[in-house]
Amino acid sequence: MSAERYTVEHDTSYAYTAPVSQSWQLARLTPRSLPWQKLLSHSLQIDPQSDEQHDAVDSFGNTVTHFGLHGAHRVLRVRMHCTVEVAPRPLLIDAAEAQTWESVRDAVRLGPSLDDMNPARMSEPTPLVPLSDAAQAYAVPSLRPGRDWLEAVSELMHRIHVDFEFEPGATTVSTSVDEVLAKRHGVCQDFAHLMLACLRTHGLPARYVSGYLLTEPPPGQPRLMGVDASHAWVAVFSPRHGWVEFDPTNDQLADHRYITLAWGADFADVVPLRGVILGGGAQEMKVCVSVVPS
């Protein structure tokens, strides 16, 4: 299958009830360049115009745009526009011998520098994905002793998809994994965090991936602009397969429809726009995302 080309627009706006006198922001809004993904063009428009701005690379290899505004303003708008080309992910190796999930866990413990992402680092707890007894117990039926790694992780993804209801607005960025397990609903961020917790409590390295997913309009209907949203899924590591991307929200492996923006240990590492302001009072945020095949 040939590569697909997409145009992505990610528009974030803040409206403040009082003037903001100073604003310092970090934007992770540059899609990654990967063996299967090419960034063909990219622009970031900031309104009001930034007084200072520079790009840097964080510890996960994501491009971060640092910018500051030093004049009074009541609205901040950040618009990212890019064109990317996405090819199919590498095919999974069809191994003659099963690679048990326990052997993956042990290999990561013995060789913590298996690649430049340091998989052992991705098996540690984080503030948003702490070790959870409930998540560990939930994963046990999938991680049966001696089971093949790919089969076990795939079934865990499938169970999360079946057992949990996708419900926008039912959770917030601070909703814990244990709360999601108890209430059995959430959004893609929650399901990604839950899958991370399930795997990490059993010693398996996994990372949080943010980006965009091409969504198809109903048959006969035109594609609408600005109605899509950022998406989140999980990449899980094995020495044989490398990083394999699982989407528990949609119960499928990532393919040419998935555009990778950033990755990290949890959502806090990949927030598209975050910062500190002086003043501002209350604020209202709006986000519009469009992914359109070119």
Interval 100-142: pLDDT, tens: 999 999 988 876 554 545 788 899 999 999 999 999 999 999 9
Residues 23, 69 contacting (CB under 8 angstroms): yes
pLDDT given at position 98? 75
Which residues partner with 221 through β-bridges? none
Q: Residue 201: which of 245, 271, 143, 152 has the closest Cα? A: 143
**The amino acid at 205:** P
pLDDT given at position 223? 59
pLDDT given at position 13? 96
Packing angle of the helix pair 188-200, 149-163 (nearest 10 deg): 140
> In the chain, where are the structural domains located?
4-87+271-293, 101-269
- Give 56: exposed, middle or buried? Use CB within 10 Å, 0-12, 13-18, 19+: exposed
Residues 29, 85 contacting (CB under 8 angstroms): no
Cis preceding-peptide flag for 19 (omega within 30 of 0): no
pLDDT given at position 28? 98
Q: Residue 82: which of 151, 139, 28 has the closest Cα? A: 28
Which residues partner with 69 through β-bridges? 23
Rounded Cα gap, residues 206 and 227, in angstroms = 29
* 4-87+271-293 CATH: 2.60.40.2250
pLDDT given at position 171? 87
225-247 confidence digits (pLDDT tens): 445 779 999 999 998 889 999 99
Q: Does this chain's domain 4-87+271-293 share its CATH topology with 101-269?
A: no
**Straight-line distance from the first to the last Cα atom of the chain, in angstroms, rounded to the nearest whole number:** 16
pLDDT 10s per residue in the chain (294 long)?
689 999 999 999 999 999 999 999 999 999 999 999 999 999 999 999 999 999 999 999 999 999 999 999 999 999 999 999 999 998 887 655 679 999 999 988 876 554 545 788 899 999 999 999 999 999 999 999 999 999 999 999 999 999 999 998 888 888 999 999 999 999 999 999 999 999 999 999 999 999 999 987 767 776 554 457 799 999 999 988 899 999 999 999 999 999 999 999 999 999 999 999 999 899 999 999 999 998
pLDDT given at position 226? 47
Residues 277, 22 contacting (CB under 8 angstroms): yes
Packing angle of the helix pair 149-163, 101-110 (nearest 10 deg): 110
CB 140: neighbour CB atoms within 10 A?
11
pLDDT given at position 222? 65
* 101-269 CATH: 3.10.620.30
Parallel/antiparallel/unpaired status of strands 185-186 and 165-166: parallel
Residues 139, 198 contacting (CB under 8 angstroms): yes
Residues 122, 104 contacting (CB under 8 angstroms): no
- Give 148: exposed, middle or buried? Use CB within 10 Å, 0-12, 13-18, 19+: middle
Which residues partner with 185 through β-bridges? 165
pLDDT given at position 213? 93
